Amino acid sequence: MVEVTVTPRSSLADQAVQVVVCGLAPSQLVTLRAWLTDEHGERFQARAFYRSDEAGTVDAGLHAALGGNYTGVWPMGLFWFLQPDSLFKRLVKRDVMGSPFLVHVEVFDGLCLVSGQQDEPLAACTAERWYVSPGVQRVPIREGRVRGALLLPP
């Protein structure tokens, strides 16, 4: 049974995570895809192609991507190389206090250049990427023409 894991499942946006797929056949060619939908409903995604090792495992921190949005060893590549489906869109988190980005990580058999509704992933999981630690207080700043926010730790 194929399983994809993101460790830790819930983390701060600047914290490194580990993406591992296990349960594959040795030397199996797979596509790893990460995607999220922002607060405006825009979809961002990244994909990379990997070949599993002799144990049937793909570890994004150890194995090199063979193609896709990046090549080589990029442990956080699926998160760093997210691209918009629509042109001229930027990934911006407006509500940093209230909710995380939910990043869906999926693994597909073979090379999957374009995935549609008919493509069923071998395995999938969801990771939470928070922008503010629990207990942080946000204080709005308005002084003259200056606008901002002060984030105070607990």
Write out pLDDT tens, residues 92-141.
Answer: 998 889 899 999 999 999 998 876 656 799 999 999 999 999 899 999 99
Structural domains in the chain plus CATH codes: 3-152 (2.60.40.2240)
Residue 53, pLDDT > 70, answer yes
Q: Reduced to 3 states, what is the DSSP secondary structure of residue 78?
A: helix
- Amino acid, res. 38: D
Exposure string of 32-61, with b = 16+ CB inside 10 Å and e = fewer, is: bbbbbebeeeeebbbbbbbebeeeebbbbe
CA 31 – CA 67 distance, rounded (Å): 9
CA 12 – CA 134 distance, rounded (Å): 10
